[in-house]
Amino acid sequence: MEITVLIYNEKNELAYRSEHGLSILIEFNGATILFDTGKSDAFIQNANILGKDLTKVDFVVLSHSHYDHTGGLEDFLILNKTAKVILKKDILRERWSVSHGYNRRIGFPLRKRFEHLHDRFYFIEDIEEIVPGLFVIPKIQKSDSHTFTDSYLFVQEQNNLVPDTFDDELFIAAVKNHKLVVFTGCAHNGVENMIQTAIQHTHIHEIEFVIGGTHMSRASEQQIQRTVNELRKYNIKRAAFNHCSGKQIISLLNQALDGQIEYGFAGSNFSI
């Protein structure tokens, strides 16, 4: 398995562009999967520089609706005419943020045009093994003690805005040599809950690698400590957290966990 971070808030010397967004390319068992598309076409430019041919992508998996994970999709669909886009139906609900002191739309840019793209979209409701050993998991089992980590985010219900419970979110779990690799997107529903859900489905307890966001950059100290305590329960060998995690989380997790925790810059490449 080869994993390449195509776009992220910060870059290493191999990446041409960076932005507040996330896109990860997965090459596994003869298939190529694009996990999220950043907020613009920047991930495509970086892919070209990194030598990755996105016309060969077989599947696009959208972790959730926010523009910084779905904004580059239209440019990708122009480039790649065949890849299926896997997402949850709830992604079509309008999302809002008040983090800047006013209401701003942050939802799926193509939500109003999805009917014209119906041949490209595949809405998922249950776990599906889209490639041998690679699972898209749309239902995240949350523990009773889980608390949401962002009070700035809302979803529209008719004419009202209500706190977002992130029903649009999914994640990817892959099995390699009887070990788990977990791709989290933003982990609005909790990175620890995603790991536990993957374990419940695969019955594999050894976590070879975790990559993506943890959404702890705006979490309270109590929420962060709870997440750290939960992650201690798992045998995580290595992780590359980025995007909405916050750099301070990397050092904290390195101290708290036995595995190697690093920062997943744009341009980073991992072989599993």
Span 136-162, pLDDT tens digits? 999 999 876 665 567 789 999 988 999
Average pLDDT score over residue span 55-63: 98
Task: Confirm whether 250 is domain-assigned.
Answer: yes
Task: Confirm whether 147 is domain-assigned.
Answer: no
Task: Confirm whether 65 is domain-assigned.
Answer: yes
Domain range for 7: 2-142+152-271
Query: What letter does residue 151 receive in the DSSP assignment?
Result: T
Query: What is this structure's pTM?
Result: 0.94
Task: Confirm whether 28 is domain-assigned.
Answer: yes
Helix, strand, coil percentages for the chain (3-state, nearest 5): 25, 30, 45
Residues making up the chain, counted from first to last:
272
Residue 164 CA to residue 150 CA, distance in Å, equals 9
Residue 129 CA to residue 197 CA, distance in Å, equals 15
Task: Write the CATH number for 228.
Answer: 3.60.15.10
Q: Give yes or no for residue 244 having a pLDDT over 90.
A: no
Q: Give yes or no for residue 51 having a pLDDT over 80.
A: yes
Residue 185 CA to residue 211 CA, distance in Å, equals 8
Task: Confirm whether 37 is domain-assigned.
Answer: yes
Task: Confirm whether 127 is domain-assigned.
Answer: yes
Average pLDDT score over residue span 35-56: 97
Average pLDDT score over residue span 1-15: 87
Q: How many independent structural domains does the chain possess?
A: 1
Q: Give yes or no for residue 107 having a pLDDT over 90.
A: yes
Task: Confirm whether 196 is domain-assigned.
Answer: yes
Residue with tokens 């985010």: 153
Q: What is the pLDDT of residue 193?
A: 95
Residue with tokens 């992780």: 239
Task: Confirm whether 188 is domain-assigned.
Answer: yes
Residue with tokens 């620890």: 192
Q: What is the pLDDT of residue 221?
A: 80
